[in-house]
Chain A
Amino acid sequence: MRFTSFIFVLLLLLTFTLYYLPFLRKWQIQILIISSLLFYAYHQPELVFLLLFSISVNVVSSYLIVYGNPRFKKRYAIAGVVINLFILIFFKYGPLVSRSFFSSANPVGEFLLTMPLPIGISFFTFQGISLVIDVFNEKYVSNKLLVPLSFWKHTKQILFFKGFFPQLISGPIIKAHDFIPQIGFKKLQNIQWETVFKKLTVGYFLKMVVADNLKDFTFYISFPYFQGYSTLNLIVMLFGYSFQIFADFAGYSLIAIGLAKLFGYDFMENFNFPYISTSFKQFWKRWHISLSTFLMEYLYFPLGGNRKGKLRTYLNLMIVMFLGGLWHGAAWSYAVWGSFHGLALALERFFSPAKERHHDLITKFVKGIFVFAFVTLAWLLFKLPDFNQVIEYFKSIRHNGSIPIDFQLITYILMYSLPVLIYHLIYLIQAKPMFTRFQKFSYLAYALMLFLMLTNSGSPGAFIYFQF
Chain B
Amino acid sequence: MIKKSILCAILFFLLYSLAVTKNPLKWWSVSQHQWQENMIKAQNFIYDQDSFKNVLIGSSLSHRIVTDSLPDTYSLAFSGQSIYDGLNILLNRKRNPKNVFIEMNVVFRPENKDYAASLFSPILFYSAYTFRSLRADKQPIAILGAIMNRKLIGPMLRGNAVSTLPNHELFNKMLKLQMADYSKIPPDKIIQDRFNLLETYVTTLTKRGIHIVFFEMPVDSSLENLAQAKLIRKLYYRKFPEKEFQYLPLPPGTYQTSDGIHLADDDALRYTRYFRSELKSIF
Contacts and interface: CB of A to CB of B under 8 A. Distances in A.
Interface of A: 5-6, 193-194, 197, 201, 209, 213, 216-217, 219, 224, 227-228, 404-408, 411-412, 415-416, 442-444, 446-448, 450-452, 454-456, 458-460
A415 B13 contact: no
A458 B35 contact: yes
A4 to B, nearest CB: 10
B34 A227 contact: no
B140 A452 contact: yes
B269 interface: no
17 contacts: A194-B1, A216-B33, A216-B36, A219-B33, A227-B170, A404-B161, A404-B163, A406-B162, A407-B156, A408-B32, A412-B33, A443-B8, A444-B5, A455-B139, A455-B140, A460-B117, A460-B118
A255 to B, nearest CB: 17
Given A216-B33, A416-B141, 6 more contacts: A213-B33, A407-B149, A408-B32, A444-B5, A452-B140, A459-B35
Contact of B9 (A193, A451, A458): A451
A194 B157 CA distance: 46
Contacts of B121: 6
Contact of A407 (B1, B144, B153): B153
A412 B145 contact: yes
Contacts of B39: 459
Nearest to A196: B2
Interface residues of B, number: 50
Contact of A216 (B34, B118, B163): B34
B232 to A, nearest CB: 24
A405 B123 contact: no
B105 interface: no
A451 B9 CA distance: 5
Given A444-B8, A456-B142, A228 B166 contact: yes
Contacts of A194: 1-2
A446 B118 CA distance: 25
Interface in B165-195: 166-167, 169-170, 173-174, 177
Contacts of A411: 145, 148-149, 153
Contact of A224 (B32, B134, B142, B173): B173
B35 to A, nearest CB: 4
Contact of B145 (A219, A404, A415, A459): A415
B238 interface: no
Contacts of A219: 33
B254 interface: no
Contacts of A6: 117, 121, 123-124
Interface string B4-17: 11111101110010
Contact of B141 (A197, A213, A454, A459): A213
B12 A448 contact: yes
Contacts of B7: 447
Contacts of B67: none
Contacts of A216: 32-36
Q: Give 3 nearest A-B pairs by CB, closest first.
A: A447-B8, A450-B9, A216-B33
B177 A224 contact: yes
B138 interface: yes
B37 to A, nearest CB: 10
B114 interface: yes
B163 to A, nearest CB: 8
B281 interface: no
B237 to A, nearest CB: 34
Contacts of A193: 2
Contacts of B49: none
Nearest to A445: B5
A209 B141 CA distance: 10
